[in-house]
């Protein structure tokens, strides 16, 4: 069966569960001939669009070079099964031979990465309040818990990173980009994988090194932990601009600040409440990035830790 026939069979199998199908002509019309580009990802470009009823949407036009259709089917299969405030809503799709597109709810604030990294070389103060960062971290945790536990079929995302978290007008976070995701039965704890998938800096060690144990929902937990560390530290965990001689391992750099002043961004004064939020975010994320996946908490436990008291949180082992 060729690629197009496989995708058509997949759409038919989905039946009434499939989102609305649009023609390529309708896609061109709703995006005003792909006039307003919002961004670009690994699988294609994203454009702003408007449905006939006036609703604003984001249209992801998939690269034609990704010809096997797996990313397209992954995204439709995964996200069509979801309904959660912290998961982006898929409103429709287009499939006409090599032309493939996915239509999502429009998220006016864009992706999280725009808000968490220090801007420029003078290390300006962060753009978001600590309470907002905490709420975003908690929302993402709830979305991931839903993917892992709340659906009939467990969904492993495999590409959790700031670029794939979108924010609505109230900074409510929504997980997006399910092109690398895998579906697995709830009772199966480990999935089989060929080759590593994900983005450098966020990929759990067991995805690369099979002797560290099986790949599971705990691999998403690791990615979540690295992302939250970035939210706290205000810099990428892999910083190509920093010379290797002066750079220390990013989680170790963060860990040091647990016992020191929490003023991670030197130009910023923070209150006692903000310091507690920061310490809690760091402790939780350091648990999430433990090398042994068995030592990492589930996302349910992550939510409990985030909502619990700082005093009840056991300090994680120093990163290795």
Which residues does the annotation mark as catalytic? 159
Q: Give the CA distances from residue 252 to residues 221, 247, 286, 304, 316, in Å, rounded to whole numbers and listed in that order.
A: 18, 11, 10, 24, 12
- Asked if residues 60 and 43 have their Cβ atoms less than 8 Å apart, the reply is yes
Q: Give the CA distances from residue 44 to residues 59, 95, 198, 298, 309, in Å, rounded to whole numbers and listed in that order.
A: 10, 14, 16, 31, 42
3-state DSSP helix/strand/coil % of the chain, to nearest 5:
40, 15, 45
At residue 174, φ and ψ (nearest 5 deg) are -135, 130
**Distance from CA of residue 185 to its chain's centroid?**
21
Supply 237's token pair.
Answer: 């965990």
Give the residue from 286, 179, 316, 295 showing the smallest Cα distance to 224: 286
Distance of alpha carbon 74 from alpha carbon 145, whole angstroms? 19
Distance of alpha carbon 302 from alpha carbon 305, whole angstroms? 5
Residue 60 assigned as binding residue: yes
Give the residue from 151, 165, 174, 168 showing the smallest Cα distance to 199: 165
Q: How many Cβ atoms from other residues are within 10 Å of residue 15's Cβ?
A: 7
**Distance from CA of residue 128 to its chain's centroid?**
18
Supply 268's token pair.
Answer: 């910023």
- Asked if residues 215 and 204 have their Cβ atoms less than 8 Å apart, the reply is yes
Tell me the binding residues for ATP.
Answer: 60
Tell me the binding residues.
Answer: 60
């Amino acid at each position: 069966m060729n690629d197009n026939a496989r995708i058509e069979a997949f759409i038919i199998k989905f039946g009434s569960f499939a989102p609305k199908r649009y023609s390529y002509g309708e896609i061109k019309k709703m995006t005003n001939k792909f006039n307003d580009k919002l961004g670009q990802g690994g699988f294609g470009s994203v454009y702003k669009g408007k449905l006939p009823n006036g609703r604003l949407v984001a249209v992801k036009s998939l690269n034609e070079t990704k010809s096997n259709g797996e990313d397209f089917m992954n995204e439709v299969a995964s996200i069509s099964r979801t309904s959660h405030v912290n998961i982006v809503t898929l409103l429709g799709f287009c499939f006409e031979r090599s032309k493939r597109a996915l239509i999502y709810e429009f998220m006016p604030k864009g992706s999280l990465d725009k808000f968490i990294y220090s801007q420029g070389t003078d290390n300006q103060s962060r753009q978001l309040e600590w309470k907002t960062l905490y709420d975003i971290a908690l929302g993402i945790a709830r979305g991931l818990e839903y993917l892992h536990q709340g659906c009939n079929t467990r969904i492993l995302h495999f590409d959790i990173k700031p670029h794939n978290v979108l924010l609505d007008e109230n900074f409510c976070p929504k997980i997006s980009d399910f092109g690398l995701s895998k579906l697995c039965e709830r009772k199966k704890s480990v999935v089989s994988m060929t080759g590593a998938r994900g983005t450098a800096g966020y990929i759990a060690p067991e995805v690369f090194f099979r002797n560290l144990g099986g790949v599971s929902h705990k691999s998403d937990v690791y990615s979540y932990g690295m992302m939250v560390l970035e939210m706290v530290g205000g810099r990428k965990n892999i910083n190509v601009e920093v010379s290797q001689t002066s750079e220390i391992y990013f989680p170790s750099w963060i860990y040091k600040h647990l016992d020191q002043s929490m003023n991670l961004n030197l130009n910023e004064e923070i209150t006692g409440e903000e310091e507690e939020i920061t310490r809690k975010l760091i402790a939780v994320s350091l648990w999430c990035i433990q090398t042994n996946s068995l030592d990492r908490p589930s996302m349910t436990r992550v939510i409990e830790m985030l909502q619990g008291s700082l005093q009840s949180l056991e300090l994680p082992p120093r990163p290795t």
